[in-house]
């Protein structure tokens, strides 16, 4: 359908996560999340939906040898990768299989928790937040990083095509597409206080760099299959993305909430 500039086959999920984490954007927002966690030596820190464990090492350094880091995920393959990645920090880092809606952890057992692009995928974000609130100690803190796909803009001379594409992303492609914006309200709903909301808005001006994160061609194909774009519209959309000056943005929210 389109230029070889696009990555037409989806990368392996862990490769995708590692690749994004290694970008300037990935390093910046993850660094900011770590700063906002304000971790002290000896604390117990949860990474909920830890995936292949990219962030566990940084958390382990922050809690030092006297603390604990627990990576939780419902995907055993992700936990295996996380355990392998943190093998040298085994005395501090453990992994535990579990669902964020029903955490396998005691009440008031953690000082800090983080979620990073997890709540956009879960069946019931409010329930997940209730669980996070349950396992945090009084004064404990959770830092959540989630996009608001409703803020996605991709410039195109035909605004109808941009609109059809973004309508597909928010309407079908992502389960909880507006979660970034909703998090402060959902957190308040389970009794957490929200001292800080930080919007992070990358501006993509290179179509290939954007494609590596947004999967532009693959998403367009799915929007076509779902009836949001016609074949001609999809072709015209992609052709312009690779030929003209490219501009896309999406806002990612870092939300700090306290028990």
Which residues of this protein are in contact with ligand SAM, per CB under 6 A?
A: 17, 49-51, 54, 73-75, 78, 99-101, 116-118, 121-122
d(CA 133, CA 205): 39
Q: Which two tokens stand for residue 240?
A: 């312009």
Please say which residue, 149 or 228, places its beta carbon nearer to ligand SAM. Answer: 149
Backbone angles phi, psi at 12, to 5 degrees: -55, 140
CB of 100 to ligand SAM, least distance (A): 4
Please say which residue, 2 or 214, places its beta carbon nearer to ligand SAM. Answer: 214
CB of 111 to ligand SAM, least distance (A): 19
Please say which residue, 24 or 231, places its beta carbon nearer to ligand SAM. Answer: 24
Please say which residue, 51 or 161, places its beta carbon nearer to ligand SAM. Answer: 51
CB of 154 to ligand SAM, least distance (A): 21
Q: How many CB atoms lie within 10 A of CB 127?
A: 16
d(CA 14, CA 226): 27
CB of 116 to ligand SAM, least distance (A): 4
Q: Which two tokens stand for residue 105?
A: 């952890």
- List, as own/partner pairs, every contact residues 81-85 make where C-beta atoms lie below 8 angstroms and the sequence separation is at least 24, other chains included: 81/14, 81/51, 81/52, 81/53, 82/50, 82/51, 82/52, 82/53, 82/56, 83/53, 85/52, 85/53, 85/54, 85/56, 85/57
Please say which residue, 133 or 241, places its beta carbon nearer to ligand SAM. Answer: 133
CB of 50 to ligand SAM, least distance (A): 6
Handedness of CA 73, 79, 85, 88 (dihedral sign): positive
- Any idea which residue has 């947004």 for tokens? 214
């Amino acid at each position: 359908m389109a230029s070889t500039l696009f990555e037409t086959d989806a990368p392996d999920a862990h490769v995708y996560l590692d690749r994004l984490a290694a970008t300037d954007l990935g390093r910046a927002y993850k660094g900011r999340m770590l700063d906002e966690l304000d971790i002290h030596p000896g604390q117990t820190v949860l990474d909920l939906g830890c995936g292949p464990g990219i962030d566990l090492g940084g958390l382990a350094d922050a809690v030092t040898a006297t603390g604990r880091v627990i990576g939780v995920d419902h995907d055993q393959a992700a936990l295996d990768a996380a355990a392998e990645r943190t093998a040298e920090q085994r005395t501090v880092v453990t992994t535990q299989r579990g669902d964020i809606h029903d955490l396998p952890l005691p009440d008031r057992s953690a000082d800090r928790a983080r979620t990073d692009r997890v709540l956009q995928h879960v069946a019931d974000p409010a329930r997940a937040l209730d669980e996070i609130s349950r396992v945090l100690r009084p004064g404990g803190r959770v830092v959540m990083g989630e996009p608001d796909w409703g803020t996605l803009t991709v410039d195109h001379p035909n605004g109808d095509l941009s609109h059809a594409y973004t309508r597909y992303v928010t309407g079908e492609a992502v389960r909880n597409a507006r979660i970034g914006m909703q998090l402060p309200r959902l957190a308040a709903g389970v009794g957490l206080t929200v001292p800080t909301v930080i919007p992070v808005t990358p501006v993509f001006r290179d179509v290939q760099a954007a494609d590596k994160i947004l999967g532009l061609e693959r998403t367009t194909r799915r929007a076509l299959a779902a009836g949001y774009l016609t074949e001609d519209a999809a072709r015209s959309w992609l052709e312009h993305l690779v030929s003209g000056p490219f501009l896309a943005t999406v806002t990612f929210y870092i939300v700090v909430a306290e028990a």
